[in-house]
Amino acid sequence: MKLNEPVSLRELASILGAKFKGDPEHLILGINEIHKVEQGDLSFVDHPKYYEKCLNSAATTILINTDVEAPEGKGILISDDPFRDYNLLVNKFRPFRPSADMISKEARIGEGTVIQPGVFIGNHVTIGKDCIIHPNVTIYDHSVIGDRVVIHAGTVIGADAFYFKRRPEGFDKMRSCGRVIIADDVEIGACCTIDKGVSGDTVIGKGTKFDNQIHIGHDTVVGEHVLMAAQVGVAGVATIEDEVILWGQVGVSKDLTIGRKAIVYAQSGVPKSLEGGKVYFGSPVGEAREKMKEMAMIKRIPDLIKAVFRS
């Protein structure tokens, strides 16, 4: 999430009641979790295992729970609970705003776009030209939708990321401040759910087509001209490259890449990255031909056992 105006390290320290190290006038331009950080962003780290990764990341301000020196050109905020204070900053700079209208007065809707009855459109939503938004679609705040997009009934765009920290007393939710961006000529089926980024963007590329009941997790990037059949589920921070096809009920794990023009057959499970231009099947997936051979061999096992006992 980019801030509307830069904020100094001194100001953030005052908001949090935290000690800081670095230039007091060092500027923070955005707030991002570690997977999406860019130059000028603040990120947080609360586990020694990830201190070095975060300190050496593109983030130029680090919210951390140990006393360390600020790397060259960076600012440090020292907190007893970085996760809590990160959420505090998100709530300050992008607070939840209740809506009194089904279509926010702050939404921008392009010429020729049709909004069917029962659609909810939140604050600061942008919808392009010649779109069709079917009944009972919900589009959360800050979503961006291109031209000639079709969204079928009951779909939800921009719900919160599924992201929690385990505490002794239960789960602590990480507040979402990202967006969903849907490019031109996308069609999204009925009852799909596309979560916003935790702090960055969940992106659906140009010309991509979704069947019904598809779920896309936070911060996932889906490329151009991708095809997904019913009940595909994609976890957070995945990258689905251009022209990939995922058939029905494929499950895709987090933090992986499916390469360009890969095809994954129905009911497959994808636990790790896949090379593009190949056909896959199974759970866990393998190249389809090899998986089919394995299945054929498995079917022969009872006969082989009988043959062994007869001999």
CATH number for the domain spanning 20: value is 3.40.1390.10
Same domain, 83 and 182: no
Residue at 103 is within a domain: no
Q: Are residues 142 and 257 in the same domain?
A: yes
The reply to whether 153 falls in a domain is yes
Q: Give the domain-ending residue among 93, 121, 152.
A: 93
Report how far residue 1's alpha carbon sits from residue 197's, in angstroms, rounded to the nearest whole number: 9
In total, how many domains does the chain have? 2
Assess whether 198 and 273 both reside in one domain: yes
pLDDT at 311: 64
Look up the CATH number of the domain holding residue 285: 2.160.10.10
The neighbouring-strand residues paired with 103 are: 121
Q: Provide the 10 A C-beta neighbour count for residue 50.
A: 14
Are both 177 and 50 inside the same structural domain?
A: no
- Structural domain contains residue 305: no
3-state secondary structure of 46: coil
Structure-token pair, residue 159: 């719900």
Q: Which of 57, 56, 16, 64 is nearest to 36 (CA)?
A: 57
Neighbour-count burial of 153, counting CB atoms closer than 10 A to its CB (0-12 exposed, 13-18 middle, 19+ buried)? middle
67 & 130 share domain: no
**Three-state secondary-structure class, residue 304:** helix
Instruction: Name the residue with tokens 């009944």.
Output: 135
The candidate with the shortest Cα–Cα distance to 90, out of 15, 183, 18, 195, is 15
Assess whether 70 and 132 both reside in one domain.
no
Instruction: Please write the tens of the pLDDT for every residue from 11-26.
Output: 999 999 999 999 999 9
Whether residues 83 and 114 fall in one domain: no
Same domain, 202 and 143: yes
Q: What pLDDT is stored for residue 252 in this prediction?
A: 98
The pair of three-digit structure tokens given for residue 224, joined into one six-digit string: 């151009």
pLDDT at site 310: 75
Does residue 195 share a domain with residue 61?
A: no
Decide if 133 is inside a domain: yes
Q: Is 101 inside a domain boundary?
A: no
Angle at CA 211, nearest 5°, toward 208 and 214?
95
Low-confidence ranges of the chain (pLDDT < 50): none
pLDDT for residue 173: 95
Per DSSP (E only), the strands in 217-278 are 221-222, 227-228, 233-234, 239-240, 245-246, 251-252, 257-258, 263-264, 269-270
Same domain flag for 173 and 257:
yes
**311 is a domain residue:** no
Identify whether 121 is part of a domain: yes
Look at residues 33, 58, 93 and tell me which one is the last residue of a structural domain.
93
Q: pLDDT per residue over 138-185, tens digit each? A: 999 999 999 999 999 999 999 999 999 999 999 999 999 999 999 999
Same domain, 161 and 252: yes
Neighbours of 176 (CB within 10 A): 25
| 8 Å CB contact between 87 and 104 | no
183 and 146 Cβ atoms separated by less than 8 Å? yes
Q: Could you list the active site residues?
A: 218
Residue 65 inside a domain? The answer is: yes
Structure tokens of 147?
């031209």
Q: Do residues 130 and 81 both lie within one domain?
A: no
Domain span at 124: 108-289
Instruction: Report the DSSP pairing between strands 61-64 and 41-45.
Output: parallel
pLDDT score at 113 = 98
